[in-house]
Amino acid sequence: MRKISFRRSVLLSLALTLASPALAGPASDPWPGLVTDIFQGRAMAGGDGVLTLEAPTRAEDAAIVPMTIRLADPVRVKKATLVIDQNPMPMAAAFAIGAGSGVGFISTRVRVNSYTNVHAVAEGPDGALYAQAKFVKAAGGCSAPAAKNMDEANAHLGQMKYREFKSSEAGRREAQIMIRHPNNSGLQMDQLTHLYIPAHYIDRVEVRQGDALIFSMEGGISLSEDPNFRFSYAPNGAKTISVEAHDNKGNVFKSEWPIGEAS
C-alpha cells in the first residue's frame, strides 16, 4: 500500500516537474501540491516536541547534503518523511520506524538541486502529521547534484559497510549503514550526446536487529550516491544487525553484521 502511494507520488512529482516551467516561475511554492501528492492533503501540526529537522543553511556539495531527523519520543512516531521541495523527485525518503525500536535519530544525505525548503514530516500512531521545515541555500560554483564517480559506484554495486559509534543517548546504540550504489536519476536520450543512462536507484531498505525492524525506508533519486544512514536505536539483545536493500532494477542486496560488545 505504501509502495503504491510512493510510486504514485513519484510519477506525479515528475509530471509536475516537467510541466512546471510553463506553469510557474521559480518563486512558486510547491509545498501545497506536495502535501496533496504525498500526504493526501491532510492537515499538519507544527513539529515542535515531536521531531526536529537538522539541515545546513547552505549546501556545501549539491550531491551530498547531510540531513538529520530527530524524534523527541520514538513511540509517538511511526513514520518520518523527508521532502526536498524543489527537487525533481521531492520525496527523498520515507522512514517507517519499527515499533519499540527506540530510534532517536536518522541521518542521511540528499541531493539539493536549488534553493529549497526541506520538510520533515512525522506521522503519529493515530495518523496525525507534524511538520518542520528548513530553508537550504543551493551549493555554488560547479557543484552539481550528479554522480562524481559513477564507474566506481557501479563497480561495487550493492557493497555495504557497517559502523558502530558510542551513543550520546542513554540506553541507545548508534550505527551507520552505507550502500554502494550510483543512485542516479538517469538521463533521457540526450539530444546532444545521444547518451541514454537509465535511472538506477535504491528504492527500499530494511534495517533489523535480530528479526525486529529498526526502520525501513522507501526512497528515490534525491538520496545521494552511495546511500548512507546513521541512526540510534534501543538494543533488544539481538546479536546481529541486518540490512536488505532493493533497487528499481530488481536487485536485492543483503548484509548482516555482529553487534559489537562496546558502547
Partner 1 sequence: MLRCAITLATAAFLCCSGAAATAFELDEIAPGVYAHQGQTALMTAENLGDIANLAVVVGDEAAAVIDTGGSVILGRQFLAALQQRTAKPIRYVINTHAHPDHVFGNGAFVATGATFVGHKNLPRALAARGEFYLSSFRAAMGPALEGVTIVAPSLTVADRLSLDLGGREIILTAWRTAHSDCDLTVLDKKTGTLFAGDLLFLRHVPVVDGSLLGFLAVADALAKIDAVRVVPGHGPRVAPWPKALDDQRAYLTRLTADLRAAIKKGEDVDAAAKTAGQSARDDWRLFDDYNGRNATTGFAELEWEGQ
- Provide the binding-site residues for partner 1, judged by CB under 8 A: 54, 56, 60-61, 63-64, 66, 107, 109, 113-114, 138-152, 159, 161, 163, 165-166, 178, 180, 187, 190, 192-193, 195, 197, 224, 226, 228, 230
When the beta carbons of 129 and 184 are compared against partner 1, the nearer one is 184
CA–CA distance, 160 with 128 (Å, rounded to integer) = 35
Secondary structure tally for the chain: helices H, strands E: 3, 15
**Residue 78: exposed, middle, or buried by beta-carbon count in 10 A (0-12, 13-18, 19+)?**
middle
Report the greatest alpha carbon distance in the chain. Answer: 58
Min CB(224)–partner 1 separation in Å? 7
Min CB(210)–partner 1 separation in Å? 24
When the beta carbons of 75 and 144 are compared against partner 1, the nearer one is 144
When the beta carbons of 57 and 126 are compared against partner 1, the nearer one is 57
Smallest Cα–Cα separation from 78: which of 41, 39, 126? 126
**Residue 176: exposed, middle, or buried by beta-carbon count in 10 A (0-12, 13-18, 19+)?**
middle
When the beta carbons of 134 and 148 are compared against partner 1, the nearer one is 148
Q: How many residues comprise the chain? A: 263
When the beta carbons of 38 and 82 are compared against partner 1, the nearer one is 82
Phi, psi of 23 (to 5 degrees): -85, -40
Q: Find the Cα–Cα–Cα–Cα dihedral 7, 10, 11, 12, rounded to 10°.
A: 120
Where helices occur in 50-160 by DSSP H, the ranges are: 150-155
When the beta carbons of 5 and 107 are compared against partner 1, the nearer one is 107
Q: Find the Cα–Cα–Cα–Cα dihedral 73, 76, 79, 83, rounded to 10°.
A: -60
Min CB(202)–partner 1 separation in Å? 15
Min CB(100)–partner 1 separation in Å? 26
When the beta carbons of 35 and 53 are compared against partner 1, the nearer one is 53
**β-strand pairing of 44-46 with 129-136:** parallel
Smallest Cα–Cα separation from 93: which of 127, 120, 74? 120
Min CB(77)–partner 1 separation in Å? 21
